């Protein structure tokens, strides 16, 4: 069958539209995957009483990146996370809307010290999770991380893009 006759009929045009929609959808999914893969991922250290814990984290520094955060992701490996830069230091509130995996939220002051930790946050919740005081950043890691590594308020976070010279 010639292409002109295939797309010349009503059913042919519908097939062409379905194909175009399918290709657009696939492209969008691939582009989302590429943007996540192309994210700025760097090492972050948390200095605890029991030693140094190293994480690979994505940096969310724009309003759009902070708004999306870890929404819609179905997994987060141990040792990985996302850090939200809220420069300058300020009171912040987080939530778990459209977040499918439970997280520990680590609220960090401008001097790199952990102010507080919200452990095992409830997935897909619009409940407000306050920082409890002015913070420069919030680190999100898979739930149970703080307990597993003994991370506590007062511990120090070292992450060059935010906490320079600390």
pLDDT of residue 121: 97
Taken in order 13, 17, 18, 20, the sign of the CA dihedral is positive
Could you report the average pLDDT of every consecutive run of 10 residues in the chain (166 residues)? 45 47 40 49 95 96 90 95 95 96 97 98 96 97 98 97 71
Parallel/antiparallel/unpaired status of strands 51-60 and 80-90: parallel
What number of other Cβ atoms are within 10 A of residue 55's Cβ?
21
Q: How far apart are CA 64 and CA 57, in angstroms?
A: 17
pLDDT of residue 40: 80
């Amino acid at each position: 069958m010639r292409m002109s006759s295939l797309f010349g009929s009503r059913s042919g045009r519908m097939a062409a539209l379905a194909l175009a929609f399918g290709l657009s959808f696939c492209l969008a999914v691939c582009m989302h995957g590429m943007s996540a893969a192309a994210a700025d991922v760097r090492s972050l250290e948390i200095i605890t009483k029991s030693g140094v814990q190293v994480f690979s984290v994505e940096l969310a520094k724009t309003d759009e990146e902070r708004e999306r955060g870890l929404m819609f992701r179905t997994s987060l490996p141990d040792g990985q996370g996302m850090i939200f830069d809220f420069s300058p230091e300020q009171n912040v509130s987080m939530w778990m809307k459209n977040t499918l995996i439970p997280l520990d939220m680590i609220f960090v002051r401008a001097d790199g010290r952990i102010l507080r930790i919200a452990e095992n946050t409830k997935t897909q919740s619009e409940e407000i999770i306050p920082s409890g005081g002015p913070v420069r950043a919030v680190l999100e890691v898979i739930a149970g991380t703080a307990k597993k590594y003994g991370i506590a308020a007062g511990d120090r976070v070292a992450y060059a893009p935010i906490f320079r010279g600390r």
